[in-house]
């Protein structure tokens, strides 16, 4: 059995990613904004439809927010900053940074991600509450 790289667009169930219809609208997601388990957002590839809808919406919002290279703005430091040597330098390092960021964004609405947010908000004196969407909710 052939194994596939997460960014391999020849993988049959990822062929939809290139810009064909996705839940009645165009949702092209470049490799730059795909996380390790990106395929979970595609219909039929997630064990829980409610969470799939949340993951897909987090991916969609990340794509919009990262359109103007939000990740680069977050990581950008000037050369005098002591952490300057820790930011990605090569194209490959940036590709990995984008993949890690996209994976984290998609992970946030999962049960483990929400538990993390709940605990972090609580520790900081805030509150975090979420409700799973109805499974008949459509992205839009």
pLDDT digits (tens, 9 = 90+) for 5-36: 444 444 444 443 433 333 334 456 777 788 88
In a domain? residue 140: no
In a domain? residue 55: yes
- How far apart CA 28 and CA 127 sit, in angstroms, is 34
pLDDT digits (tens, 9 = 90+) for 37-86: 888 888 888 888 889 899 999 998 998 888 777 888 888 777 788 878 88
In a domain? residue 119: yes
In a domain? residue 3: no
**Three-state SS sequence of 53-64:** HHHHHHHHHHHH
pLDDT digits (tens, 9 = 90+) for 97-138: 888 999 999 999 998 999 999 999 999 999 999 888 887 655
- Residues 6 or more apart whose Cβ sits within 8 Å of residue 80: none
In a domain? residue 106: yes
In a domain? residue 82: yes
Q: What is the CA radius of gyration of the chain?
A: 17
What total number of domains does the chain contain?
Answer: 1
- Maximal C-alpha separation, the chain: 51
Write phi, then psi, for 51 (nearest 5 degrees).
-70, -35
Structural domain range at position 61? 12-123
Which pTM value belongs to this model? 0.72
Closest CA to 50 of 122, 128, 121, 138: 138
């Amino acid at each position: 059995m052939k194994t596939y790289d997460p960014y391999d667009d020849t993988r049959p169930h990822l062929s939809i990613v290139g810009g064909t219809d996705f839940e009645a609208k165009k949702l092209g997601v470049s490799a730059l904004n795909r996380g390790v388990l990106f395929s979970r957002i595609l219909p039929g590839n997630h064990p829980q439809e409610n969470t799939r809808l949340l993951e897909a919406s987090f991916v969609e919002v990340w794509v919009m927010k990262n359109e103007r290279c939000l990740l680069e703005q977050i990581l950008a430091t000037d050369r005098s900053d002591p952490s300057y040597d820790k930011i990605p330098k090569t194209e490959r390092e940036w590709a990995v940074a984008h993949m890690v960021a996209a994976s984290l964004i998609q992970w946030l609405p999962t049960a483990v991600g929400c538990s993390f947010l709940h605990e972090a908000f609580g520790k900081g004196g805030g509150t975090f509450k979420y409700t799973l969407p109805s499974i008949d909710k459509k992205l839009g």
